[in-house]
Amino acid sequence: MKFLASLFIILSFTSFGQDAKSQGILDKLSTKMKGQKSFYIEFTANIKNTSNGTNESETGKGWVKGNKFYASYGDNTIISNGVKTWTVVKEEKSVYETDANEDDEESMNPKKLMTIWESGFKNKYEKEDKLNNEAVHVINLYPKVPAKVDYHTITLYISKASNELKKAVMKTKDGTTMTYTLTKFTSNPTVEDTKFVFDIKKYPGYTLIKD
């Protein structure tokens, strides 16, 4: 659960003045994402801290449709029907149930990953760069209330050609770096609503823990 919690916990706050160039790029990206009825992503996630020897990676994938999402990463799964969210942790044989609104404030999910810049941050355009031979905009996000969060910077890499998020790197105050690299993005796939239905019967022997 430590890796899961470290990888997915993040807080959000209200917005104020931004860097004009970076804000323009992020606004276009937001408009593109809001035009999606659904989307599918594949990603790799890495958490690294040289001081304590942590270096763990997982691959994952996620489906989003409106306010519903389904994500799997390693042996763990997050399912949300927009009302409730269930986090399935295979190692613990536990399922954690929370209200979706509460979860949206405190945790990362595929939809939030793809819209993380929209609230809670100042932003600054850093430079143009290359990522896997693709031209990208590099934009830094800084929390507006630093004392209330464990991280100090999130760096976004956004494709110049496709206007898509390619990578997000979060740096925490304890020296941990969490990196999400998007390896696939599919616009408006057909996703049945049954994808976002949680059934405890599919997890025999698991303990359901309600927040």
Residue 9: the pLDDT is 42
Average pLDDT over residues 130-158: 91
Any idea where the domains of the chain sit in the sequence? 2-210
Q: Which of 94, 2, 119 is nearest to 49 (CA)?
A: 2
At 115 the pLDDT is 83
Q: What is the pLDDT of residue 158?
A: 96
- The torsion region of residue 132 among left (phi > 0), alpha (psi -120 to 50) and beta comes to left
Which pLDDT score is estimated for 62?
Answer: 94
Which tokens belong to 4?
């899961």
Q: Is the predicted pLDDT of residue 191 greater than 60, yes or no?
A: yes
Report pLDDT digits (tens) over 74-122. 888 999 999 999 999 999 999 999 988 754 444 567 877 888 888 888 9
pTM here? 0.81
The residue ranking higher by pLDDT, 1 or 111, is 111
Residue 160 has pLDDT above 60, yes or no: yes
* Contact (Cβ atoms closer than 8 angstroms) between residue 158 and residue 137: yes
Q: Return the CATH fold of 2-210.
A: outer membrane lipoprotein receptor (LolB), chain A (2.50.20)
First to last CA, the chain: 16
pLDDT at site 108:
62
Q: Are 4 and 76 in contact (CB under 8 A)?
A: yes
- Residue 181 pLDDT greater than 80, yes or no: yes
What pLDDT is attached to residue 202? 93
Q: Is the pLDDT of residue 36 over 70?
A: yes
- Among the ranges given (104-118, 133-147, 169-183), the one the predictor scored with the smallest mean pLDDT: 104-118
Average pLDDT of span 16-35: 85
CA-based nearest residue to 38, from 176, 185, 152, 211: 185
Reference 98, options 11, 186, 209; nearest CA is 209
For residues 118-137, give the mean pLDDT: 93
